[in-house]
Chain A
C-alpha cells in the first residue's frame, strides 16, 4: 500500500495538534483552578537540584500520613486524606499514596540553570512555598515558586 499526500499530512499534523492540545489543557488548568499555597521542604540540600529542577516535599499540614497505596485525595480545608472522593470539600487534591507519602505531581519545579545555586541557598534558608492551581476535579498544577512571599523571578 502506498500512502497518499493526505496520509503524510495527517501523520505529521496529528502529533502537533496533540501536543498543542496538551499545552492548552495545562494552560487552562493553570488559569482556571483555585489557588492554594503550600510550604515546601527539601529532601537534602545536596540533592535539592537534580538537573535543572528542584525536587521537594510538599508540607500539606496533615496530622497523619496517608494510609495504604494507590489513589488518594487530600481535602485542602480539613487537611485530611481519604481513599474516596471527599464529600463536602470545596478544594481537594487528587494524588497517590505510597508508603505514607502523598504525591500529586507537584513535587518538581523547573528552574533555569543559571539560578541553580541562588535558589538552592534560598530554599535552605528562607521560607519557601509553591503556589498551586487546583481544578474542580482535583488536578493540581504548580503556578509559581514563592520565596519569602515573592515569586522566585523577583527574588
Chain B
C-alpha cells in the first residue's frame, strides 16, 4: 500500500492524475482483500514447530509413563487433530483446515516414531518415511492449498531416494545418484497422471514443483559425475523420459507447441547420459553437455512463457545463461576453454538481456496466442 501511495503522490505532483482520482484509487485499494500469505506462513511455521515439539516430547521417552498410556494419549491427540481438521473443513476455514491437516500429517510421523520407541523397532528410516506417505496418501488429495502436497511429495521422494539403494539385480543396480536422476522424470509423469484425477490439482502442482526442483539438481549432479561414469540406469532414464513424453502428448491439456517444448526438454534431459558411450574428450563432453542444458532450460523457459508464467520464464532463462559459466568452472583449464566459455556466456547473457528488454511484452502476447 505504501508504494502505491508514493506512486500516487508522484503522479498527482506531476499532474498525471487529479487529487480526487488519487483519493478514489487509495480508497479502492484499501477495500481490497489483503494477501494472507504472511499470516499463512506464520501459521504453517507455528504448526511445524508444534509438531516438532510433540515429536521431541515423544523422543524424551518418559519411562515413568507406561507405554500403553503413551500410545493411548498419542492416538487421542491424533484423533483430536483429525476431528479438528474435519471441523475446519465443514466450517470452511481454509487456513485452519490446512494447518490442522499439516499438523495431523506430521503427528502421524511422530506416531510411527513412538511405536518404534515403545516396541524397540530397528528399521531403515526410508521404510518409516514410505509407511508415513502410504498411510497419509489421502491428505494431499483433500488439501485445499499446496503446502501439504509439497510436504507429502517431498517425503515420498526422500523415501524413494533411499529405498532403491539396496536394489541389485543381475542386470543393474540402483545407486542413490541414479534414483536422484530418475526422480524428476517420475515427478513429471505423476504430475500429468494426477492432473487427470479431478480434485487433485494441488497434488499435481506439487509434483510439478518437485519435478523442476529435482530436475535442476539432477542436471547439476549428472554433470558432477565423471564423463566415463556411465549411469547404471541410463535405459531407465530413457524409458521414463519416453513415458513422460507419451503422457504429455496423449493426456496433458497443453497445446501442440507447448508439448513440443516439453518434449525437447525431456530429450535434452536424457541426452547427456548417451554422451558417455562415445570416446570423446572431456572438453567436447562438457561443451555438448552445456549446449544440451542450454536447450533444456530454453525449452522450459519458452514453455513457461506460454503458460504464461513470467517468474519461471525468467528463472529458466537465467539458468540457461548460467550454463556457460558453469562450463568454464568445470573445464577450468587452459586459456582456450576459458576464452570460449566466457565469450559464449557473455554473448548469451547480453543477447538474452537485450531480447528480453525489447521483446518481453511481445513474447507474452504471442505466448497467449498459443493457448486456446
Q: Which of B61, B63, B112, B139 contacts A11 (CB 8 A)?
A: B139
18 A-B contacts, Cβ less than 8 Å apart?
Answer: A1-B199, A3-B141, A5-B90, A8-B142, A11-B141, A12-B104, A13-B82, A14-B135, A16-B75, A19-B135, A22-B115, A23-B118, A105-B122, A110-B116, A112-B61, A113-B61, A141-B120, A142-B119
Asked if A120 lies at the interface with its beta carbon under 8 angstroms from chain B, I say no
* A to B contact number (C-beta, < 8 Å): 98
Q: Contact size class for A?
A: 35 or more
Most chain A CB within 10 A, of B75, B123, B197, is at B75
Instruction: Find chain B residues with CB under 8 A from A14 CB.
Output: 135, 138
Distance, CA A110 to CA B116, complexed state (A): 9
Given contacts A8-B142, A153-B63, contact A19 B199 (CB under 8 A): no
Distance, CA A3 to CA B92, complexed state (A): 12
Contact with B along A112-153 (1 / 0, CB 8 A): 111100000000000000000000000001100000000001
Query: Which residues, 234 to 289 on B, are CB-close (under 8 Å) to A?
Result: none
Distance, CA A9 to CA B111, complexed state (A): 19
**Nearest residue, chain A, Cβ from B100:** A12
Given contacts A3-B142, A8-B142, contact A19 B111 (CB under 8 A): yes
Instruction: Find chain B residues with CB under 8 A from A111 CB.
Output: 61, 63
Asked if A26 contacts B117 (CB within 8 A), the reply is no
**Nearest residue, chain B, Cβ from A104:** B122
Interface size on B, residues (CB 8 A): 38
Asked if A141 contacts B123 (CB within 8 A), the reply is no
Instruction: Find chain A residues with CB under 8 A from B136 CB.
Output: 15
Distance, CA A22 to CA B119, complexed state (A): 10
Instruction: Find chain B residues with CB under 8 A from A109 CB.
Output: 120
Contact with B along A98-111 (1 / 0, CB 8 A): 00000001111111
Query: Which residues, 66 to 86 on B, are CB-close (under 8 Å) to A?
Result: 71, 75, 78-79, 82-83, 85-86
Q: Which of A7, A9, A105 contacts B121 (CB 8 A)?
A: A105
SS of B interface (majority): helix
Distance, CA A114 to CA B62, complexed state (A): 9
Asked if A94 lies at the interface with its beta carbon under 8 angstroms from chain B, I say no
**Nearest residue, chain B, Cβ from A19:** B111
Instruction: Find chain A residues with CB under 8 A from B122 CB.
Output: 105-108
Asked if A15 contacts B135 (CB within 8 A), the reply is yes
Instruction: Find chain B residues with CB under 8 A from A8 CB.
Output: 85-86, 89, 142
Given contacts A9-B86, A11-B141, A26-B121, contact A16 B79 (CB under 8 A): yes
Distance, CA A30 to CA B61, complexed state (A): 19
Asked if A2 contacts B199 (CB within 8 A), the reply is yes
